Structure 1
């Protein structure tokens, strides 16, 4: 299976299963921004963005974008009924007070201890860390959505991160196009596999040791 739109939406759909009615959820850019498209229409979830929105809706249809309404990555979003705006100081205050139930982020690397490196590749220009540091430390649950390997084929799940850390020991769950891991006090545990991949695929593309759940779920959507 190619790493295209279907692959990205499969990851986003699996992440949506971690969200429950009444939650406040922060979404990173990239694959995480697709998560609202996979929630039941009647579910009440308040999506939060660091730039000052609580209550983001699904991605607008082409031609229906509001140029003044975007997420923290600058991409168009919609606003659900009951949504609100605030300045970034209040938005970050919500994060630092632990008001965000789940943050769903992309990443460059995650270690077997749950260390997160998602803000810079040395030598590359970036606008800044954004809210990743606060979110990784203060959200009640941290979920990472990413490709299992980078463009050069190097594993992104590693024994120790070689890129600058955003935060240490903060990740609770990793979802890639191959598999789902939970982070435990003993390290990573493989709990689910996406069709058509098997355990050998995951072992070959993961640069650290991990344990395997007694009942590995096979995801077929």
Structure 2
């Protein structure tokens, strides 16, 4: 997906057996490219220049979505405006403002319908400070009861049995603080621990 999910490829270690594929037809890319190494023809779904791994390939956009629709993707990572405690989420909307074209649902509906798991990478709250994790979504849905994992700026949250489970919290934030910014039922995992993103990157 575009937006925050495009940064996921920056946080994968070389030894991890993960193949990133982008809807526009890049199969086997890695981190975002630095200015001096970028190629304007090698971009992710958000139009950002990326680096390639050994064995990378390029396919037609139609073939890329044939792979999506075949059910061969293990995980899709998408952004979202809202996510409900039942695992439903919304990541599209139509603007009421003139000349503000936010577009439609796009390929997200194919991804959520056929990927084995749906993960979200998103901000925990709106610009006004309101919750994005809700009891029920208020916007038109992209996918129904399909999300299993959410990564926000405040933590890593599983979705199980109609509730959010905080598995990891951002350093400096407590469960109580995160719960107060969540608009749906949330519980602390028995193994709740701080996120250690930079430790994982350093290890790689």
For the aligned pair, the TM-score class normalised by the smaller chain equals 0.7 to 0.9
Q: Partner residue of 1:115?
A: 88
Of 20, 23, 47, which residue of structure 2 is paired with 1:47?
20
Q: Secondary structure of 1:32's match?
A: helix
* Separation in structure 2 between the aligned mates of residue 76 and residue 119 of structure 1, nearest angstrom: 24
Q: Partner residue of 1:61?
A: 34
1:145-171 deviations in Å (ceiling 9; x for gaps): 111101111110011111111111111
Runs of 5+ consecutive residues of structure 2 not aligned to the other structure: 199-204
Please report the TM-score for the alignment, with normalisation by the length of structure 2: 0.88
Alpha-carbon offset, residue 94 of structure 1: 0.8
Q: Partner residue of 1:129?
A: 105
Please report the TM-score for the alignment, with normalisation by the length of structure 1: 0.82
Corresponding pairs, count: 194
* Separation in structure 1 between the aligned mates of residue 142 and residue 162 of structure 2, nearest angstrom: 21
Q: CA RMSD in A?
A: 1.6
* Separation in structure 2 between the aligned mates of residue 179 and residue 67 of structure 1, nearest angstrom: 33
**Structure 1 residues 191 and 45 mapped into 2: Cα distance closer, same or farther (>3 Å)?**
closer
Q: Partner residue of 2:70?
A: 97
Runs of 5+ consecutive residues of structure 1 not aligned to the other structure: 1-27
Alpha-carbon offset, residue 31 of structure 1: 2.0
62-71 or 37-46, which deviates more: 37-46
Q: Does 1:191 align with 2:162?
A: no
Alpha-carbon offset, residue 122 of structure 1: 4.0
1:130-185 deviations in Å (ceiling 9; x for gaps): 32111112111111111110111111001111111111111100111212211112
Q: Does 1:31 align with 2:4?
A: yes
1:160-217 deviations in Å (ceiling 9; x for gaps): 1111111111110011121221111242222221110001211210011123222212
33-42 or 122-131, which deviates more: 122-131
150-159 or 186-195, which deviates more: 186-195
Tell me, yes or no, if the aligned pair for 2:75 and 2:117 is still in contact at 8 Å. yes
Q: Partner residue of 1:170?
A: 146
* Separation in structure 1 between the aligned mates of residue 18 and residue 191 of structure 2, nearest angstrom: 30
Alpha-carbon offset, residue 49 of structure 1: 0.9
